[in-house]
């Protein structure tokens, strides 16, 4: 049985990953990652694992990314609840520069998003008490941290619900201007 199905998106390198659980009347087993399989898609080494909880439906987090040389590939999975997960292409010269793709990730649909280097990431919770698991190819480096404002009208992210919560820090991230011209990897 194939453990994963990798689905291409319109944004080169960005993959939707469908996990195929094996189950019976006791429950299920679901593989989240396999270096041998994921290496074919540019992700074979995990340097950091993060687990988050977002308690309130409608909360928006993001759009975060890390600058080179600490740019990271990440695999985002929702272990509890349901989210609208967004990846935004910031790669300088990319034909899909500043385009975004979103997927519903949930505990029930066993779907993850494999986000390559050069993308910003954010999400909105569609239920209360959403738990996410992030697998990162690079460790976090505060000096390489960057973000764009998730409600920037230039990006036109179509958040599916009213935004009920957003940190002051995320609200203060910059809006796009003529000075931002992408990430060179």
Q: What are the pLDDT digits (tens) for 66-100?
A: 999 999 999 999 999 999 999 999 999 999 999 99
Could you tell me if residue 172 is inside a domain? no
pLDDT over 80 (residue 105): yes
User: Catalytic one among 65, 110, 134, 136?
Assistant: 134
Query: Does residue 156 form part of some domain?
Result: yes
* 174 found inside a domain: no
Q: Has residue 28 been placed in a domain? A: no
Query: Is residue 136 in some structural domain?
Result: yes
Q: What is the chain's mean pLDDT, rounded?
A: 96
* Residue 134 is among the residues annotated as catalytic for this protein: yes
Q: Which domain holds residue 12?
A: 4-20+46-165
Q: What is the CATH classification number for the domain harbouring 52?
A: 2.60.120.10
- Give yes or no for residue 170 having a pLDDT over 80: yes
Are 161 and 105 spatial neighbours (Cβ–Cβ below 8 Å)?
no
- CA–CA dist 150, 156 (Å, integer): 9
Position 41 scores a pLDDT of: 94
Average pLDDT over residues 93-116: 97
pLDDT at residue 1, as a whole number: 59
Interval 122-163: pLDDT, tens: 999 999 999 999 999 999 999 999 999 999 999 999 999 999
Helix (H, G, I), strand (E, B) or coil at 88: strand
Is residue 173 situated within a structural domain?
A: no
How far apart are the C-alpha atoms of 136 and 92, rounded to whole Å? Answer: 22
For position 177, what pLDDT does the model report? 87
**Structurally, how many domains does the chain consist of?**
1
Residue 162 CA from chain centroid, whole number: 20
Is 8 domain-assigned? yes
Task: Tell me whether residue 110 is one of the annotated catalytic residues.
Answer: no
pLDDT at 2: 75
Name the residue among 4, 12, 80, 69 with its Cα closest to residue 39: 4
| 106 falls within a domain | yes
Task: Report if pTM > 0.85.
Answer: yes
Q: List, as one string, the DSSP characters of 94-145.
A: -TTTT-EEEEEEETTTTEEEEE-TTEEEEEEESSSSEEEEEEESS---GGGE
Token pair, residue 183, equals: 């990430």
């Amino acid at each position: 049985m194939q453990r994963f199905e990798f689905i291409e998106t319109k944004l080169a390198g960005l993959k939707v990953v469908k996990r195929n659980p094996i189950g019976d009347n006791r429950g299920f087993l679901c593989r989240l990652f396999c270096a041998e399989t994921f290496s074919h898609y540019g992700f074979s080494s995990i340097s950091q694992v993060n687990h988050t909880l977002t308690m309130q439906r409608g909360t928006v987090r993001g759009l975060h990314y890390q600058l080179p040389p600490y740019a990271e590939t990440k695999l985002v999975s929702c272990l509890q609840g349901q989210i609208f997960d967004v990846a935004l292409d910031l790669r300088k010269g990319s034909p899909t520069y500043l385009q975004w793709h979103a997927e519903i990730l949930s505990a029930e649909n066993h779907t993850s998003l494999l986000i390559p280097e050069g993308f910003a990431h954010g999400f909105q919770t569609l239920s209360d008490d959403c738990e996410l698991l992030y697998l990162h190819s690079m460790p976090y480096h505060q000096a390489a941290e960057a973000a764009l404002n998730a409600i920037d009208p230039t990006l036109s992210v179509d958040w599916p619900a009213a935004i009920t919560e957003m940190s002051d820090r995320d609200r203060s991230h910059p809006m796009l201007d003529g000075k931002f011209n992408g990430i060179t990897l």
